[in-house]
């Protein structure tokens, strides 16, 4: 399908997945891919990790928005901006915006947020989601990408709205929770993209998370991103000694063994990966977008660019419109 | 026998820390298994094991008590999954002055919220359980897996956090038995409390007051216990082991934990790096890539391109690890290669053990 249409499906996309699957890298690649289709993009990070900004070759994100990648260039790409959201900052901002600036300072200095959030579990999550909802309503960007907490916590995080509706029946928290839930459950406004590796345990957890999110939170799921597959390469089945004689060259001592062992390793892992990708397709009927493993493990702007283009190709190859 | 094998024989407590997806739970289970193989009575406490590993360890549902795994080792191997809330419940029962006080607390809605959700509760309860297994159940070796969050080591602050929570002015205002103290509080404080209760709702506030009233008298017991647990963790009988994968981001997380431990005056005893790409021969990645280029279009060129890929990733992984290895020195760095399959049974754990205890 047309990538521009793909990214215009909902303004908010929440990227979630188990730790270690490359969720942050995928978030950044999605942002760059969307920007290449001309959509201005805002990345929201909630765990205070520095990895995301590094991918763009920038200093760590702050609560104040920064530009991660300015638009322009031959393809007329749009801007990518980024920011973090912390519950404390979101609360202070909320209080300021609601005429309670006087207590906001006290709340910050006294550490009372700890106590309040203890009294009302999920309040930290709703403060963050409430702010995201505000950004979505204000159309802060054509596309807002939320780099969600790791999988187990992602469910709790997204369930916070539903839980709070039961716990706090009146007042501003109730209103926030209701509005956040409206956003999360409206497929035209919000979708969740799940990320996994083509390995057994991450695939199992992804399938569990997908059903939980759909059944318990009621969010709509976009395609699954399978990150880190080894790309196919030529010659893996050849015998090194024979291949050398065909190429009219000789191999140094030990070279034959190294070539054979490396080829065997890749073949074996590719077979495992293929098996898991198939299993995922059977257990979770969602379209898949595949991103290659980058052997140059030092991810920076050039690698990000390559991943974004892989994504655009993969999206272009998706069949029909997903809902 | 390497240093890690020695730890599985000598340490009384091993805590594994690291970010999610690096094989922390598996590593913890392998360490406990090694203890049992050395004839010790060992238990592994996990937080959230992958389902198939949980099945292999006989962890069906939350029992909050260890269950034994049968096997042909001279010692004993036990495993349990931590249930934060029931551990907290037990703690309340232990420290309450009478059953009625415990009952009042356990049925309180505010308590139900904090026992499951207060930030750091899970980490702290893991430590509480560890202490109980160590002292009450006489395990020779307790291996504890920490949750995969940045807050995983916050339990080191538990004594301070608890004290701060209980000494908080807001808490004391809420605790005021009569409105008298409320009157004495200055105007600003009263306004503050009133606004807060408007935001969170009066129901929540009433629950909190009831909870703190019921809790009265138990603070000392909680604080003392937190201090005792901390002393045990900081003693040489406890070994902290970092688990990472050789990716830049997980190495950064492990580095964060190493600094965090150093702040508490605790040394890292070993760094385990899982999922290392194997190194094939000792040629350099660039030279191999160059050879692939000159042979481009032939099968041999393809084989060299593949070899260059793996030599490149292997050298990058070592680069990522270098700084962290220096930071945790003289602790050993133990490298575990990508295994051919996922680990989800005792045979798999044994295979990992062959790499860990070389």
What distance in Å separates residue B311's CA from the closest CA in chain A?
9
In the three-class reduction of DSSP (H, G, I as helix; E, B as strand; rest coil), residue A68 is classed as strand
Tell whether A257 is covered by a domain.
no
Contacts of B249 in chain A (CB under 8 A): 24, 49, 51
Contact B204 A236 (CB under 8 A): no
Determine whether the interchain pair A243/B303 forms a contact, defined as Cβ–Cβ distance below 8 Å.
Answer: yes
- Domain B3-356, CATH number (from 1.10.1240.10, 3.40.80.10, 3.40.50.300, 1.10.357.10): 3.40.50.300
CA gap A91, A120 in Å, rounded:
14
HEC secondary structure over chain B: CCHHHHHHHHCCEEEEECCCCCCHHHHHHHHHHHHHHCCCEEEEEECCCCHHHHHHCCCCCCCCCCEEECCCCCCEEEEEECCHHHHHHHHHHHHCCCHHHHHHHHCCHHHHHHHHHCCCHHHHHHHHHHHHHHHCCCCCEEEEECCCCHHHHHHHHHHHHHHHHHHCHHHHHHHCCCHHHHHHCCHHHHHHHHHHHHHHCHHHHHHHHHHHHHHCCCHHHHHHHHHHHHHHHHCCCEEEEEEECCCHHHHHHHHHHHHHHHHCCCCEEEEEEEEECCCCCCCCHHHHHHHHHHCCCCHHHHHHHHHHHHHHHHHHHHHHHHHHHHHHCCCCEEEEECCCCCCCCHHHHHHHHHHHCC
Q: Which of B110, B165, B298 sits opposite A243 (nearest CB)?
A: B298
Strand, coil or helix: A291? strand
Is B137 part of the contact surface with chain A (CB cutoff 8 Å)? no
Angstroms from A188 CA to nearest CA on chain B: 31
Class of residue A232 by CB neighbours under 10 A (exposed 0-12, middle 13-18, buried 19+): exposed
Contact B301 A47 (CB under 8 A): no
Long-range pairs, A317-321, Cβ under 8 A, ≥24: A318/A1, A318/A6, A318/A223, A318/A287, A318/A289, A319/A1, A319/A287, A320/A1, A321/A1, A321/A5, A321/A9
Tokens of B39: 């004839």
Residue A150 has its nearest CB partner, among B148, B280, B338, at: B148
* Burial class of B183 by CB neighbour count within 10 A (0 to 12, 13 to 18, 19+): exposed
Contact with chain A for residue B317, Cβ under 8 A: yes
Contacts of B310 in chain A (CB under 8 A): 262, 265-266, 295
Q: Does B51 touch chain A (CB under 8 A)?
A: yes
Residue A143 lies in a domain: yes
Task: Look at residue A281 and tell me if it is in a domain.
Answer: no
Residue A235 lies in a domain: no
**CB contact, 8 Å: B252 with chain A?**
yes
Segment A157-186 mean pLDDT: 84
For residue A48, the Cα-to-chain-centroid distance in whole angstroms is 15
Please state the domain count of chain A.
1
Shortest CA gap A316–chain B (Å): 28
* pLDDT value at residue B190: 64
Name which of A49, A117, A240 is nearest B300 (Cβ-Cβ). Answer: A240
User: Distance between CA B68 and CA A197 in Å, rounded?
Assistant: 33
Cβ contact B40:B140 at 8 Å: yes
Per-residue model confidence (pLDDT) at position B177: 45
**CB distance A238–B300 less than 8 Å?**
yes
Q: Flag whether residue B157 sits within 8 Å of chain A, measured between CB atoms.
A: no
3-state SS string for B274-300: EEECCCCCCCCHHHHHHHHHHCCCCHH
Please tell me which residue, A103 or A301, carries the higher pLDDT value: A301
Which tens digit of pLDDT belongs to each residue from A273-308? 999 999 999 999 999 999 999 998 778 899 999 999
pLDDT, one tens digit per residue, over A15-29 is 998 888 889 999 999
pLDDT-derived band at A322, boundaries 50, 70, 90: very low
Candidates B19, B303, B341: best to mutate against A (most CBs of A within 10 A) is: B303
- Averaged confidence pLDDT in chain A: 88
Q: What is the CATH number of the domain that holds A26?
A: 3.40.50.300
State the pLDDT at residue B140.
96
Contact A259 B117 (CB under 8 A): no
Contact B196 A117 (CB under 8 A): no
Residue A247 to residue B299, Cβ atoms within 8 A: yes
How many angstroms away from the CA of B229 is the closest CA of chain A? 23
Across the interface, whether the CB atoms of B299 and A47 are under 8 A apart is answered: no
- Six-digit token string for B81: 């999954």
Task: Look at residue A98 and give its three-state secondary structure.
Answer: coil
A contact test, residue of B21, B111, B171, B211 with most A CBs within 10 A: B21
Evaluate if residue A44 carries a pLDDT over 90.
Answer: yes
Any domain includes A268: no
Please tell me the distance in Å from A124's CA to the nearest CA on chain B. 10
Strands in B238-244's sheet, in edge-to-edge order, are B67-69, B76-81, B41-46, B141-145, B13-17, B238-244, B268-276, B333-337
| Cα-trace Rg, chain A | 23
Residues contacting B239, CB < 8 A, separation 6+: B7, B11, B13, B14, B15, B269, B270
Establish if A237 belongs to a structural domain: no
Domain that holds residue A155: 3-230+286-316
Q: Which of B22, B51, B298 sits opposite A204 (nearest CB)?
A: B51
- DSSP for residue A1: -
The answer as to whether A33 is a domain residue is yes
Q: Would residue A278 count as lying in a domain?
A: no
The alpha-carbon gap from B94 to the nearest alpha carbon of chain A, in Å, equals 22
Taking CB atoms and an 8 Å cutoff, what residues of chain A touch B171? 115
Report the 10 Å Cβ neighbour count for B282.
Answer: 8
Q: Could you tell me if B286 lies within 8 Å of chain A, comparing CB atoms? A: no
Q: Which residues of chain B register pLDDT less than 70?
A: 60-62, 114, 116-121, 158-193, 196, 198-201, 204-205
pLDDT, one tens digit per residue, over A222-235 is 999 999 999 988 88
Using CB atoms, pick whichever of B148, B247, B280 lies closest to residue A262: B280
Closest CB to B198: pick one of A171, A199, A266.
A171
Say whether B196 and A103 touch across the interface (CB within 8 A): yes
- Report the distance separating Cα B221 and Cα B337, nearest Å: 46
Judge: A205–B304 Cβ closer than 8 Å, yes or no. no
Are residues B21 and A106, on separate chains, in Cβ contact within 8 Å? no
Q: What is the pLDDT of residue B174?
A: 56
Which residue does chain A place closest to B119, by CA atoms? A118
Q: How far apart are CA B55 and CA B166, in angstroms?
A: 40
Which of A20, A205, A240 lies nearest to residue B19, judging by beta carbons? A20
pLDDT band at A158 (very low <50, low <70, confident <90, very high): confident
Residue A109 confidence (pLDDT) above 90: no
Q: What residues have CB less than 8 Å from A140, skipping those under 6 apart?
A: A42
Q: Which residues of B touch A234 (CB under 8 A)?
A: 299, 301-302, 305
For residue B339, what are its two tokens? 């295994």
Write the pLDDT tens digit of every residue in A46-100.
877 768 898 999 988 999 999 999 988 888 889 999 999 988 788 888 878 877 7
Q: Closest approach of chain B CAs to the CA of A201, in angstroms?
A: 7
Picking from B310, B238, B180, B39, the residue whose alpha carbon sits closest to that of residue A236 is B310
Q: What chain A residue is nearest to B196 in terms of C-alpha separation?
A: A116
d(CA A282, CA A278): 6
Sort out which chain A residues have CB atoms less than 8 A from B317's CB and list them.
Answer: 297
Helix (H, G, I), strand (E, B) or coil at A56: coil
The H or E element that residue A229 is part of is strand A224-229
Judged against a pLDDT cut of 70, whether residue A176 lies above it is answered with yes
Nearest Cβ partner of B309 from A123, A168, A295?
A: A295
ipTM of predicted complex: 0.88
Q: Which helix (H) or strand (E) holds A228?
A: strand A224-229
Mutation target to probe the B interface, by most B beta carbons within 10 A, among A51, A87, A100, A119 is A119
Distance from C-alpha of B20 to C-alpha of B243, rounded to nearest angstrom: 10
Residue B142 sits at φ, ψ, to 5 deg, of -115, 120
């Amino acid at each position: 399908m047309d990538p521009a249409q793909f990214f215009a499906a909902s303004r908010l996309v929440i990227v979630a997945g188990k730790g270690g699957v490359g969720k942050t890298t995928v978030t950044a690649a999605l942002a760059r891919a969307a920007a290449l289709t001309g959509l201005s993009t805002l990345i929201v990070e909630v765990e205070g990790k520095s990895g995301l900004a590094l991918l763009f070759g920038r200093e760590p994100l702050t609560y104040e928005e920064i530009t991660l990648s300015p638009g322009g260039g031959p393809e007329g790409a749009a801007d990518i901006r980024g920011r973090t959201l912390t519950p404390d900052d979101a609360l202070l901002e909320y209080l300021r915006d609601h005429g309670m600036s006087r207590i906001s300072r006290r709340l910050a200095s006294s550490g009372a947020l700890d106590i309040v959030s203890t009294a009302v579990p999920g309040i930290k999550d709703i403060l963050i989601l409430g702010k995201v909802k505000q950004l979505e309503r204000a159309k802060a960007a054509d596309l807002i990408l939320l780099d969600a907490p790791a999988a187990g916590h992602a469910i709790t995080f997204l369930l916070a709205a539903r839980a709070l509706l039961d716990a706090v029946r009146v007042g501003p928290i109730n209103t926030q929770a209701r509005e956040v839930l409206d956003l999360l459950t409206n497929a035209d406004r919000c979708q969740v993209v799940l990320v996994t590796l083509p390995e057994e345990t991450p695939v199992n957890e992804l399938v569990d998370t997908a059903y939980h999110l759909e059944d318990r939170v009621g969010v709509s799921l976009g395609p699954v991103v399978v990150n880190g597959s080894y790309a196919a390469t030529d010659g893996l089945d050849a015998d090194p000694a024979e291949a050398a004689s065909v190429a009219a060259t000789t191999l140094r001592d030990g070279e034959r063994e190294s070539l054979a062992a490396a080829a065997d390793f890749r073949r074996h892992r590719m077979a495992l990966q293929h098996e898991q990708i198939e299993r995922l397709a059977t257990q979770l009927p969602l379209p898949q977008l595949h991103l290659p493993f980058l052997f140059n493990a030092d991810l920076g702007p050039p690698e990000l660019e390559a991943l974004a283009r892989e994504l655009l190709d993969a999206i272009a190859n998706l069949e029909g419109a997903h809902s | 026998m390497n240093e890690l094998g020695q730890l599985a024989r000598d340490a009384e407590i091993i805590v594994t820390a690291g970010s999610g997806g690096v094989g922390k739970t598996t590593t913890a289970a392998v360490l406990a298994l090694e203890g049992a193989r050395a004839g010790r009575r060992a238990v592994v406490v996990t937080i959230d094991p992958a389902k198939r590993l949980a099945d292999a360890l006989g962890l069906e549902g939350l029992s909050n008590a260890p269950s034994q795994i049968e096997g042909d080792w001279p010692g004993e191997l036990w495993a349990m999954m931590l249930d934060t809330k029931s551990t907290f419940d037990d703690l309340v029962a232990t420290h309450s002055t009478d059953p009625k006080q415990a009952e009042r607390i356990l049925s309180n809605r505010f308590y139900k919220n904090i026992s499951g959700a207060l930030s750091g509760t899970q980490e702290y309860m893991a430590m509480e359980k560890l202490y109980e297994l160590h002292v009450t159940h006489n395990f020779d070796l307790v291996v504890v897996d920490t949750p995969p969050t940045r807050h995983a080591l916050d339990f080191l602050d538990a004594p301070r956090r608890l004290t701060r929570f209980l000494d908080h002015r807001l808490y004391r205002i809420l605790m005021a038995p009569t409105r008298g103290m409320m009157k004495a509080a200055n105007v600003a404080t009263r306004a503050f409390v009133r606004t807060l209760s408007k935001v969170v709702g009066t129901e929540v506030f009433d629950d909190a007051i009831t909870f703190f009233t019921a809790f009265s008298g138990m603070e000392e017991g909680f604080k003392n216990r937190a201090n005792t647990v901390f002393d045990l963790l900081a003693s040489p009988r406890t070994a902290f082991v970092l688990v990472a994968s050789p990716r830049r981001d997980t190495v950064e997380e492990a580095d964060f934990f190493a600094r965090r431990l150093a702040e508490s005056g605790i040394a890292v005893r070993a760094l385990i790096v899982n999922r290392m790409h194997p190194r094939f021969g000792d040629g350099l990645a660039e030279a191999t890539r160059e050879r692939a280029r000159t042979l481009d279009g032939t099968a041999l060129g393809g084989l060299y391109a593949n070899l260059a890929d793996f030599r490149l990733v292997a050298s990058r992984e070592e680069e990522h690890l270098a700084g962290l290895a220096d930071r945790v020195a003289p602790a050993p760095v133990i490298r575990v290669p990508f295994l051919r399959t996922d680990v989800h049974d005792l045979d798999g754990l044994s295979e990992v053990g062959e790499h860990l205890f070389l």
